[in-house]
Amino acid sequence: MFSTDSRSRWRTALVGGLLATLSMLPGSAAQAQAKTQADYFVHDLPGAPQPLLKMHAGHIEVDSAHNGNLFFWHYENRHIANRQRTVLWLNGGPGCSSMDGAMMEVGPYRVTQDGNLKYNNGSWDEFANLLFVDQPVGTGFSYVNTDSYLSELDQMAEHMILFLEKWFALFPEYEHDDFYIAGESYAGQHIPHIARAILKRNKQAGVRPWSLKGLLIGNGWISPLDQYLAYLPFAYQNGLITAGSESASRVEQQQSACVKALNDGGKDRVDTPICEGIMTTILEETKNRDADAMNQCINMYDIRLRDDSSCGMNWPPDLKQVTPYLRRQDVISALHINPDKKTGWQECNGAVTGHFRAKNSEPAIRFLPELLAEVPVTLFSGDKDMICNHVGTENMIDRMTWNGGKGFELSPGVVSSKQDWTFEGEPAGTYQEARNLTYVVFYNSSHMVPFDYPRRTRDMLDRFLGVDIGEIGGTPADSVIDGEKGPLTSVGGHPNSTKAEEDKAQQLKEAEWKAYYRSGEVALVVVIIVAVLWGTFLWRSRRRSNGYQGADGDEGRESLLTGMGLDNFRRKERRADLEAADFDERELDDLPGKKSNGYSDKTRAPQNDSTFSLGVDSDDEAGSSEQGRRKE
């Protein structure tokens, strides 16, 4: 009655149906490669004090064609205020790891000299979920094929949007949070570009909008023009260069060359290489020439310090502990670092820096006014940083027009005053506000303000987030602006918000039951389908045994197994060209100040006229190869 071909087709269809059905089951082999929250959960972090904070870490793919994966490290907030908030933190470079922020600035832990971890008094995870991301691809623990590094800011923003879409799919409980983006230095370009991409995405039909509530940028490289032309005034103000001296004359000559390049089209660029020479010359002129001082120069990230000829490349000192800690095998395993990441962690990746020229990218200053029309922005500056100094930021603000006014003008002829800020009885800095922009100056602080003053920056964060512990209980911090305390903030030592905690627990419980309910529905459908298929199979088999069909025998069973192709589940292909070199154990002995290939995402140490050079581009002016980069 039935031919051999028809039996074969029926058998193949049955096997295909069974496999398709089984693939719907949770935990099936077909779903083995789809990661869940559990795959990212950090069960143990070497050296961390107990109890362990709740955290997740690992890689998310953003470029399947080139094996591009971004690494994230997420900490759940310790307490909930009146609503859930998530802060995305990014360091700069470009190409410097956000583990700087996680381990030396705003994260919950600091690395001790004995290689263990201690709590950071003033970490930002008190009332906000913290999300650190190593980006662009190739930075820190992130990776990509070595011929596929990014070169433009819109590429970076596109990757970050894809990352966030996948991250929120993995962690849907955070998708409705108030969302903030914070960072420092070259993140002054990253953050506005990502924010613009988010706002553009939110306007698309059919997408769930993300609740972007604000941006915080510390010592930001936002307006290249204003920063380049602020180096010399900053040097004069701080006594690094004496006006009228031969040193001043040499710096002024370099500045004149920069002005010419800016007028010839450099104003439209994120980087103008010849302008990097202004700071190079200043650092060279600050060198102490006597042999006993080992040719020391000013630390470009903290002018209160002097350094050897690297001029700050070995700073901050915590790098001596952080680098070996992040290269430990037990730490790498705990953070779920993919085996595809072949090289040990490094603070800044020179290869990423070298490729990320942003030649066709729009400087963030161009559209910062558009962002201010939609979200509040806080800019903050440590007053002892030279590389992205406060003079440049203030000049940028004074020249910028946004929300119906120019600079901090409140009305024609009336300017917002600077308000003195004291914290725990000490002068901490100044606040100035107008039309959705807040500007904070931190006294006696470096390029990495949270490294110097974690408690003060936490106070700034809580004010920006709108956290008021007067509504939830706790001991208020001694923080006063212009004689007034304003919203009550707290830096540690407070109880949970009972109401908020209960609301969050209820949300998680409902989400859990919905997940179980959906799983039950799927399982029921699967059981019905399998039963129908199996019943049909048995019925047809009995028909064959009753003479309607010849017996298949062992050959039929063998073809069934072959058709299922079970051995295919054991096959995996490795992607080629992940990184140029395998992990080298000798890297563990590298000093933190040493960077691969002689590059650093920090600005290069002044050694000659092309100190900041990453190589001359064919379309750059001859002799203008200084391509500096903002640190962290």
| Burial class of residue 140 (count of CB atoms within 10 Å of its CB; 0-12, 13-18, 19+) | buried
With beta carbons less than 8 A apart as the criterion, state whether 421 and 489 touch: no
| Burial class of residue 590 (count of CB atoms within 10 Å of its CB; 0-12, 13-18, 19+) | middle
Which among 56, 74, 190, 447 is annotated as catalytic? 447
With beta carbons less than 8 A apart as the criterion, state whether 280 and 626 touch: yes
Residues whose CB is less than 8 angstroms from the CB of residue 133 and which lie 6 or more positions away in sequence, other chains included = 70, 71, 72, 88, 89, 90, 98, 160, 163
Find the helix or strand (DSSP H, E) in which 354 lies: helix 350-355
Residues whose CB is less than 8 angstroms from the CB of residue 485 and which lie 6 or more positions away in sequence, other chains included = 476, 479
Which among 226, 271, 302, 385 is annotated as catalytic? 385
Q: What are phi and psi of 419, to 5 degrees?
A: -105, 130
Residues whose CB is less than 8 angstroms from the CB of residue 450 and which lie 6 or more positions away in sequence, other chains included = 101, 105, 106, 122, 124, 218, 457
* 3 state SS of 145: coil
With beta carbons less than 8 A apart as the criterion, state whether 447 and 185 touch: yes
DSSP-derived letter for residue 74 is: E
- Annotated catalytic, 447? yes
- Annotated catalytic, 385? yes
Distance separating alpha carbons of residues 217 and 209, to the nearest angstrom: 23
- Annotated catalytic, 625? no
Side chain identity at residue 217, one-letter code: I
Which among 97, 123, 185, 610 is annotated as catalytic? 185
List Cα–Cα distances, 442 to 187, 206, 245, 428, in angstroms.
19, 43, 30, 6
Distance separating alpha carbons of residues 262 and 274, to the nearest angstrom: 9
With beta carbons less than 8 A apart as the criterion, state whether 593 and 343 touch: no
Residues whose CB is less than 8 angstroms from the CB of residue 394 and which lie 6 or more positions away in sequence, other chains included = 439
Burial 218-228 (b: 16+ CB within 10 A, else e): bbbbbbbbbbb
Which residues are annotated as catalytic?
A: 185, 385, 447
